[in-house]
Amino acid sequence: MKSFSVSDLDRKDIYSLIISLIAPRPIALVSTVSRSGIDNLAPFSYFNGIGSNPASLSFSIATKEDGSLKDTAKNLLETKNCVVNFVTEDVFEAMKLTANDFEANIDEFSEAKLTKLPSDLIKSMRVKESIAQFECELIDLMNVSNRLESLLEHSILGFNHKLEPGSGNLAVCRIIKVHFSESILRDGTNHKIDALKYLPIARLGARHYLKSSIDNFIQ
Ligand SMILES: Cc1cc2nc3c(=O)[nH]c(=O)nc-3n(C[C@H](O)[C@H](O)[C@H](O)COP(=O)(O)O)c2cc1C
């Protein structure tokens, strides 16, 4: 058994241990929109549900090496809504493309050749090719560092304010509308998903992914 104090490891090693051991992780392909109307897409696998009352989920956006926020976090602070698009084989290759660090003025739907589908209740676009989407409103965005602060409360500091590199910015969102393809509906029901039909792709450590397959299901 190998044991390390976190204080003896550098940040890149800690990152690698976290993503290798907390696995497999679901992937949220998150679309947001800036105040000036530029649509953005990026995948996040520090992602999970929180509760059903209110219907809520969270994902965590790491602070960049220079202490600045990724576009997804900036857009959330500006417009306070997002769509979580779910990842199956249909959008897997495009999802990886959207992880590139594009300039904020680049529309990542066109870069990834994905089709925009307007949301019913919010400004952020849905990904038409994605098998399911949640329309969400931001409840809070919390920077998890030594200083524990809510970015929403402190957004007055402006985007020049530097955060701890690698610190997580936890987006907590209320799910306000759900869309999913009839192809994953459980027979005889109106809003239940058939676990044997929905085949999500999950992220493992490094650049590895896990493909769900009927042959691998256990009970
Ligand atoms: C499958 C996958 C999962 C990812 N998960 C995360 C994550 O949970 N948190 C994070 O900050 N970055 C994550 N990334 C990296 C971001 O997607 C990447 O930094 C992206 O460029 C951010 O885009 P933005 O600046 O448009 O927000 C992930 C990348 C991939 C390919």
Residue of the nearest CA to atom 26 in ligand 1?
A: 71
Q: Are 200 and 132 in contact (CB under 8 A)?
A: no
Yes or no: say if 74 and 163 are a contact pair by the CB < 8 Å rule: no
Is the Cβ atom of 64 under 6 angstroms away from ligand 1? no
pLDDT for 150 equals 66
pLDDT by residue for the chain (219 residues), tens digit each? 999 999 999 999 999 999 999 999 999 999 999 999 999 999 999 999 999 999 999 999 999 999 889 999 999 999 999 999 999 999 999 999 999 988 878 888 999 999 999 999 999 999 999 999 999 999 999 988 856 566 766 665 566 667 889 999 999 999 999 999 999 999 999 999 999 999 999 999 989 999 999 999 999
Residue keyed to tokens 């904020």: 104
Q: C-alpha distances in angstroms, 209 versus 66, 176, 195?
A: 28, 29, 19
- Write down the pLDDT at residue 149: 61
Indicate whether residue 101 lines ligand 1 (CB < 6 A): yes
pLDDT at 155: 61
Q: Quote the ligand 1 centre to 75 CA distance (angstroms).
A: 14
Give residue limits of the domains in the chain.
Answer: 27-190
Question: Could you tell me if 71 and 27 are in contact, meaning their C-beta atoms sit under 8 angstroms apart?
Answer: no
pTM score, whole prediction: 0.95
Residue 198 CB partners (closer than 8 Å, separation 6+): 88, 131, 132, 184, 212
CATH class of 27-190: mainly beta
For the Cβ of 23 lying below 6 angstroms from any atom of ligand 1, the answer is: no
> Is 109 a pocket residue for ligand 1 (Cβ < 6 Å)?
no
Longest dimension (CA), the chain: 55
Could you tell me the distance, in angstroms and rounded to a whole number, from the CA of residue 187 to the centre of ligand 1? 35
